[in-house]
């Protein structure tokens, strides 16, 4: 009987001892080889996924910039329909007719938080945007009706009888996805004072991912791609934009 009891006690203790040994092994953690294998797998996954994520983010930002540029252009066109003029006056009077004596805008910008981007030194034609003198916020014309920071466009009381400002035409205006302002070469909307203005494309443009302008101010051809002038095997232009008014 005694031998039987001892055998039974040993049998019952066996699972407890095995469990204790298993817990001790678990408490020791992973081996160095296991850690290295895990780190390698994570690195391989990151290397495979990261380029796709970066590419998707880039495409998303470009799509947003194109959408923003078109929305701004549509707002300017709505302004034109309501008032009968383009948003180029710095101090509009009661009469909205251009007579060649008014001071008008050269460049309209979406935000004043950042300056007009520099031109790409590798571009075939100098951009010329920074050389323009009369710069005003699009917000002053399309949202607040305060062009040039003072004055106002005549507001519409009855659009069917008396055209006038009937905004706001946008909820807000901001920088492009890369932190630069959207620009309009509004100088060429002045068909009275600017010679051959009607032959220039008027565009809403963003400097794009490289934050440098390849699109010439006077040309108005959006330079999404320009020649590989620096010999690095890639195109130098990445401006994003929308044509507001095509030249003749």
- Of 14-23, 117-126, 148-157, 233-242, which gets the smallest average pLDDT? 14-23
Assess contact for 154 and 96: CB atoms under 8 A.
Answer: yes
Residue 233, token pair as written in the block? 């095997």
Highest mean pLDDT among 24-38, 100-114, 179-193: 179-193
CA–CA separation, 43 vs 6, rounded Å? 55
- Domain spans in the chain, listed from the N-terminal domain onward: 64-245
Q: What pLDDT, on a 0 to 100 scale, did the predictor assign at position 79?
A: 93
Give the confidence band of 100 by pLDDT, cuts at 50, 70, 90: low
Pairing of strands 107-109, 135-137: parallel
Q: Which residues, including other chains, have CB under 8 Å from residue 152's CB and lie 6 or more apart?
A: 92, 145, 146, 165
pLDDT band at 109 (very low <50, low <70, confident <90, very high): very high
What pLDDT, on a 0 to 100 scale, did the predictor assign at position 183?
95
Question: Does the pLDDT of residue 179 top 80, yes or no?
Answer: yes
Place of tokens 């383009």: 86
Instruction: Tell me the average pLDDT of the chain.
Output: 78
Percentage with pLDDT > 90 across the chain:
27
pLDDT of 169 above 90: yes
Nearest C-alpha neighbor of 135 from the set 219, 238, 217, 224 = 217
Question: Distance of CA 169 to CAs 19, 73, 141, 242, 243, Å?
Answer: 73, 11, 9, 18, 18
pLDDT of residue 224: 47
pLDDT of residue 18: 56
pLDDT band per the 50, 70, 90 thresholds, residue 182 = very high
Two structure tokens written together for 142:
């399309």
Percentage of the chain surpassing pLDDT 70? 70
Distance CA(70)–CA(56), nearest Å, equals 21
**Mean pLDDT, range 126-140, rounded to an integer:** 88
10 Å Cβ neighbour count for 199?
A: 10
* pLDDT above 70: residue 8: no
**Region at 67 (left for phi over 0; alpha for psi -120 to 50; beta for the rest):** alpha
Global confidence as pTM? 0.72
How far apart, in whole angstroms, are the C-alpha atoms of residue 13 and residue 17?
Answer: 6
């Amino acid at each position: 009987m005694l031998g039987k009891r001892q055998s039974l006690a040993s049998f019952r203790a066996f699972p407890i001892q095995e469990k204790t040994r298993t817990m001790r092994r678990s408490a020791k953690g992973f081996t160095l080889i296991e850690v290295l294998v895990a780190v390698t797998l994570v690195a391989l996954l990151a290397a495979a996924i990261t380029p796709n994520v970066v590419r998707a983010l880039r495409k998303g930002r470009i799509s947003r910039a194109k959408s923003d540029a078109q929305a701004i252009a549509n707002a300017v066109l709505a302004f034109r329909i309501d008032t009968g003029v383009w948003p180029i006056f710095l101090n509009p009077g009661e009469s909205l007719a251009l007579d060649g004596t008014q001071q008008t805008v050269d460049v309209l910008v979406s935000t004043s938080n950042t300056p007009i981007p520099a031109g790409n030194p590798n571009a075939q034609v100098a951009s010329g945007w920074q050389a323009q003198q009369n710069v005003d916020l699009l917000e002053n014309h399309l949202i607040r009706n305060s062009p040039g920071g003072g004055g106002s466009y005549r507001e519409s009381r009855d659009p069917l009888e008396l055209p006038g400002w009937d905004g706001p035409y946008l909820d807000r205006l901001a920088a492009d996805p890369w932190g630069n302002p959207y620009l309009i070469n509004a100088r060429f909307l002045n068909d009275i004072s600017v010679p051959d203005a009607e032959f220039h494309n008027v565009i809403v443009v963003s400097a794009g991912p490289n934050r440098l302008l390849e699109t010439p101010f006077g040309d108005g051809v959006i330079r999404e791609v320009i020649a590989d002038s620096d010999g690095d095997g890639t195109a130098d232009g990445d401006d994003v934009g929308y044509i507001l008014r095509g030249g003749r």
